[in-house]
Each structure stands twice: as C-alpha cells, then as structure tokens.
Amino acid sequence: MFNFMDPDFLARRCVWVNGPVIVGAGPSGLAVGACLKEQGIPFVILEKTDCIASLWQKRTYDRLKLHLPKQFCQLPKFPFPDHYPEYPNKKQFIDYLESYATHFDINPQFNECVQSAKYDEACRLWRVKTVSTNGSTRSDVEYFCQWLVVATGENAERMVPDIDGLKEFGGEVLHACDYKSGEKFRGKKVLVVGCGNSGMEVSLDLCNHEAQPSMVVRSSVHVLPREICGRPTFELAMFMLKWLPLWLVDKLLLVLAWFILGNIEKYGLKRPSLGPLQLKNTKGKTPVLDIGALEKIRSGEINVVPGIRRFACGMVELVDGEMLNIDAVVLATGYSSNVPYWLQEAEFFSRDGFPKSPFPNGWKGKDGLYAVGFTRRGLSGASADATKIAQDIGKVWKEDLKQKKQKVPTHRRCISQF
C-alpha cells in the first residue's frame, strides 16, 4: 500500500506508464514491443545496460553464429534479409536486431536497472523501482503500470561453479561470456569446463588458434550433425514431428547421427538415456550441433577429460587421478535467470527464476504478469510468447478504451505520464 511519508517513496521520481512495463531489451523484449506497437499500445522497456541485446553484443565470442537456420530465429513481423546466410553470424544478428528496433520505433530506457518489482494489491498496479545511471548522475525512479512483462530471459547471469582449489590455480580464469577469441591463448594449454554448444565451440576456436584445449565432459551429452542430407537437422526434426511421435523422431535422429558421426562414446562423449528432443523439452538441455569440434576430438586436437576433483597451482587433478598442467581455464558452465533477485512474487515464478507452469502455459501469470523467453525453446519460443502476450494485453486494452475507464493512481504528487 502507498505510504506517502516513506522517505524512499518521496526520494523517487514517479512515472505512470499507460501500458505495460517490459524488463529487458533483448530479443524477447523487442519482440513484445513490436507486437504491442502493431496494436497501438504504449509501453516502456527498461534495460540495465547501454544497448539492446547486451548478451549478444557484450557477452559472446567472436566466431558465434546462430545454431539454427534463420527462419527459426526471426522475430515476429520482420524476416531476416534475403541475402543473409542460413546461419547468420554474430554481427549480422545484432544488425538484424538494431534494424528491428528501428523499424518498430522501439526506444528502450537504457542504463536503468530494476531493483524490485511488486504488485500492490491496494492500488492494483505493479510498482517497479529502478536505479538509473547516467555518467556520475544517479536517479531513482518508480514506475506504476497495469502490466509487467518479464523479458530478462534464461541467460541473464553467468553460472560459476564452486570448484575446490580454483582460487589457488594462479592462471587466467574466465567465463565463456568473457571469452572473445583464442588468439591470446595461442600455444597455451587451456582447460574448457563444459561440453555444451559453448564449450564445444570455444574448444574448436582454441584449436583453430593453435592452442591446446582439454574439454571437461562430466555428464552425458547429445551431439548431432548440424545438417542431415544437406538439410538442417532442426528443420528435419520439426518436419518429422508433424507426422510422427516425439519418441520415434528421437530414435530416427539418433540413428541418422550414428551413421553420420559414428560411435561418439569411444571418445568420452556418452549419450543420455533420454532422446535429444525429449531431453530438451523436459530438462531444457540443448543438444550440441556439431560444426567441426568432433573432428578435432577424433584427431586428438581436443582432449576430452572427465570431471574435476580439484585445482592446484598451474594444474588440475581429474576425478580419475590424472594431473594436467594448464595455463588457463574457460568456464563454459552456462547461465541462469536473475528474476529471483528483483521480482517479489512467488506464485508464477519458481526459485530458479523460471515459470512454474510448463510449456506452453508459462507465459501468463495473474495480476497482469507475463514472461517471455523462458520456454527453453530459443528465439522461436520467445516469438510465440511475445505474440500471445501482446494479443492478451490488447484484449484488455481495447476493452478499457471502449469503457473509458483507464486505471490511474489516485495520488498525483510528481507522477508523470509515459
């Protein structure tokens, strides 16, 4: 409930948003904004960094490309340019997102970090508190809105495992989000912790820059060819799912992968018991689409090693007792949601920062709360969520316009319209 004598409230500039507040200016937030624009619904996008798609612009390696064909990665109402390759690279995808924002006239509020967001039962509005930094100037703002769209995504924060002795290692340790190129590791022995798409690509990039990577494979992993018979594997899987049950498509993919890639278990890459699509749907674990790393593993240029027991000065001890001398460590250990740090809500989101309701019902909560980009189905899942969210808000918006009963805060002290 409002407490107008609260010093924290009095110190903040208050803004009434005549539409939803969207937290996050990545692809998910931009997609929701574009769909709302098409319906003439105003909105505010809050972004804690100084650019759109900060994950892509600031926390990805140079050689990154989209893992899936572009037709499965385009955002709503705006296809990729025809001249783009099937798998656009990092720069091309960023250019696409910049063009997307320009085309739909989306202008996020940059350098505005959300500190908290809470639904106020008394005034039936969301209260979103932010800290805005502009050089040496700081300002505190509180937004009031009827709808809140969480678009911070699955990969907001790096995950750094607590490994015994890592602080005593002494060499360079960096997360994959800070890795740009293998150039500075030329001639060095590098331990890559993680065997997902990032771990495989970082290891391949290190090889291409004449480093000596060892890749830690602690758990099982599905490795599939990126293309089968000249067609993208993902496209083939989506086609088969139109006619066949998921379990059968999984079996067919694994048979085809065996014919193309051979038996990968003899290289230390054990396959999970669940099929690649079932594992993705139930656990959110994405299969690795091979773009050349497997060839380097076969040749011994990428050394596959088991789990880590502990680090020591300049070396690592593996669970099988082997000791490796290494110069640097790259942690390709994934990312996590940051929603629990700022959203004060416990019914819709779980403690891990993902909606409790499984796909396809994890996009809508109660009291005007929405989530986009948490389906573990990549950009196509985010686009589908964005479309549904905009349509759902649009229904209420149009009804409100018809009845001319927009809900506005009763207290007008320094509350500006947005």
Task: Encode pLDDT of 28-57 as tens digits.
Answer: 999 999 999 999 999 999 999 999 999 999
pLDDT at 413: 40
Orientation angle between helical segments 27-38 and 378-403, nearest 10 degrees: 40
- The token pair at 122 is 């008394």
The 10 Å CB-count burial string (b at 16+, else e) for 47-65 is: bbbebbbbbbbebbbebbe
- Helix ranges, 43-126 (H): 54-58, 90-103
- Helix ranges, 39-131 (H): 54-58, 90-103
Residue 280's pLDDT band (cuts 50, 70, 90): confident
pLDDT at 410: 46
Asked if residue 297 has pLDDT above 90, the reply is yes
What is the value of pTM for the model shown? 0.89
pLDDT tens, residue by residue, 208-238: 999 999 999 988 999 999 999 888 999 999 9
Q: Kindly state the average pLDDT of the residues 278-290.
A: 88
Residue 9's pLDDT band (cuts 50, 70, 90): low
Kind plus residue range of the DSSP H or E element containing 238: helix 233-241
What is the spatial distance between Cα 157 and Cα 160, in angstroms, rounded to a whole number? 9
Bridge partners of 416, per DSSP, are: 15
